[in-house]
């Protein structure tokens, strides 16, 4: 479960393209930030993805991947050319394929091989046509689905949605958000050549005049229970309300948003319908990582949490410069996991009422505001990478200090989970598994 959104320069306050995503996964599934350098490969090399091998490109671009630690691909990320992609699980009437490429694999391949959003659409379609999509994407329980993608570069964006081998694509004009549901209807810019005829053969529509991709191809039951309609409605409405003046703060507010029902008793109930998703029910996941991109000359700026629950996490500025210490190499995935787990322990202590969430959020907000003010004051045309590196190092050190302070407080408190019986059972089970992994 996830939510992804984009605002082109004609809809933002500063004319830059803004891209944002929450990655919703199973609560104990560590979400890591991995940076992979540009590489060259001998002709004929093979690439091992999550389940299958495919032909490797002779050269791949530098990428930043935000991903489940055990999967080769990624939920979201960018490359050195400012290309950004986020993927979503969607539930359709088409059967699930055998193990092949999963959506996260396709996302990473496109980032490693493409420079623009249109080029990425073409590459993703080629991958789908050649290999299909399929394979378990669940961490502690099986979970299979089809995929949709929101793709943005420094000047354009596309939506690509799939159902098995079938697909439709729409170019974004200003703002757009996607969730765990097909959103493209009767109007699209590109499509599988048999998209409409296949729906007619299946009896999902009578002809092109009444064809609607989402209505014809969606599995209505699973889609309904995913909570995606509420989440997409929320993100779309918040974008519409701020259209023309959308900022990084707007995107943060969307990624942290909850339903009114959840906010009546926060951290005591689940909320699959909130963009900031909280686990604790029979179905539904937990937001395990959040990411915002501000794209444009002279340098792209990213804001990352590297941790779950954006309502609790600190968004930190990230620039893809040499010698930054916020991301990890693939060889250091274990350290990336440890980084994620540290903030996750704080999240679990808040669920157990061992930390004052109001005090913590007050201090977190103060730190985040100071970081945003510092970034806003930068003249990127004249600044050097040392200043950017210093800001990132400061953010990491202050985040660590904040964690130390509140985790130390938690040591003297007894855990008390609040909520209904199933919520308590769920998080006791999750916490036991989480802490046994250390």
Please, which residues have CB within 8 angstroms of residue 393's CB and are 6 or more apart in sequence? Answer: 325
Per-residue H/E/C for 337-376: HHHHHHHHHHHHHHHCCCCCHHHHHHHHHHHHHHHHHHHH
Angle at 161 (CA atoms; ends 222, 271), nearest 5 degrees: 40
Q: Element (H or E) spanning 34, and its range?
A: strand 31-36
DSSP string, 300-346: -EEEE--SS-TTTSPPEEE---TT-SSSB-GGGHHHHHHHHHHHHHH
Residue 111 corresponds to which tokens in the numbers above?
Answer: 């980032």
How many CA atoms lie within 13 Å of 149's alpha carbon, on the beta-carbon side?
A: 34
- The answer to whether 168 and 147 are in contact (CB under 8 A) is no
Nearest Cα neighbor of 246 from 77, 8, 4, 2 is 8
205 is catalytic: no
- The answer to whether 77 and 108 are in contact (CB under 8 A) is yes
| Active-site option among 2, 30, 216, 311 | 2
- The answer to whether 148 and 90 are in contact (CB under 8 A) is yes
How many CA atoms lie within 13 Å of 256's alpha carbon, on the beta-carbon side?
A: 18
| Three-state SS at 270 | coil
Burial of residue 91 (number of CB atoms within 10 Å: 0-12, 13-18, 19+): buried
Q: Element (H or E) spanning 221, and its range?
A: helix 220-225
Catalytic residues: 2
């Amino acid at each position: 479960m996830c939510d992804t959104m984009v605002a082109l320069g004609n809809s933002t306050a500063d004319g830059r393209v803004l891209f944002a995503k929450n990655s919703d996964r199973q609560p104990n599934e560590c979400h890591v930030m991995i940076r992979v350098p540009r590489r060259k490969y001998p002709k004929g090399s093979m690439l091992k993805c999550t389940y299958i091998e495919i032909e490797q490109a002779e050269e791949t671009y530098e990428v930043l991947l935000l991903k489940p630690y055990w999967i080769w691909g990624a939920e979201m990320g960018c490359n050195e050319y400012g290309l950004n992609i986020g993927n979503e699980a969607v539930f359709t009437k088409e059967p699930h394929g055998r193990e092949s490429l999963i959506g996260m694999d396709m996302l990473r391949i496109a980032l490693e091989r493409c420079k623009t959003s249109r080029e990425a659409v073409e590459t993703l379609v080629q991958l789908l046509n050649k290999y299909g999509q399929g394979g378990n994407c669940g961490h502690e329980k099986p979970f299979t689905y089809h995929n949709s993608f929101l793709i943005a570069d420094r000047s354009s964006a596309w939506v690509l949605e799939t159902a098995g081998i079938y697909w439709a694509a729409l170019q974004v004009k200003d703002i757009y958000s996607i969730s765990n549901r097909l959103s493209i209807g009767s109007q699209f810019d590109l499509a599988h050549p048999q998209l409409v005829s296949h729906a007619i053969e299946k009896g999902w529509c009578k002809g092109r005049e009444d064809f609607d991709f989402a209505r014809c191809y969606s599995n209505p039951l699973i889609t309904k229970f995913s909570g995606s309609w509420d989440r997409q409605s929320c993100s779309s409405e918040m974008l519409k309300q701020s259209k023309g003046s959308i900022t990084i703060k707007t995107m943060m507010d969307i990624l942290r948003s909850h339903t009114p029902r959840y906010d009546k008793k926060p951290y005591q109930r689940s909320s699959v319908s909130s963009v900031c998703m909280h686990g604790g029910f029979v179905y539904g996941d937990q937001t395990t990582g959040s990411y915002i991109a501000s794209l444009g000359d002279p340098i792209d700026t990213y804001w990352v949490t590297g941790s779950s629950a954006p309502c609790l996490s600190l968004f930190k500025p990230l620039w893809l410069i040499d010698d930054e210490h916020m991301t990890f190499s693939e060889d250091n995935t274990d350290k990336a996991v440890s980084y994620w787990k540290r903030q996750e322990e704080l999240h679990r202590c808040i669920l157990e009422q061992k930390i004052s969430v109001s005090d913590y959020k007050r201090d977190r907000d103060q730190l985040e505001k100071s970081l945003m003010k510092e970034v806003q004051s930068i003249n990127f045309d004249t600044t050097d990478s040392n200043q950017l590196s210093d800001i990132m190092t400061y953010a990491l050190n202050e985040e660590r200090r904040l964690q130390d302070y509140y985790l130390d407080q938690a040591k003297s408190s007894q855990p008390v989970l609040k909520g209904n019986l199933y919520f308590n059972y769920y998080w006791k089970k999750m916490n036991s598994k989480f802490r046994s992994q250390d």
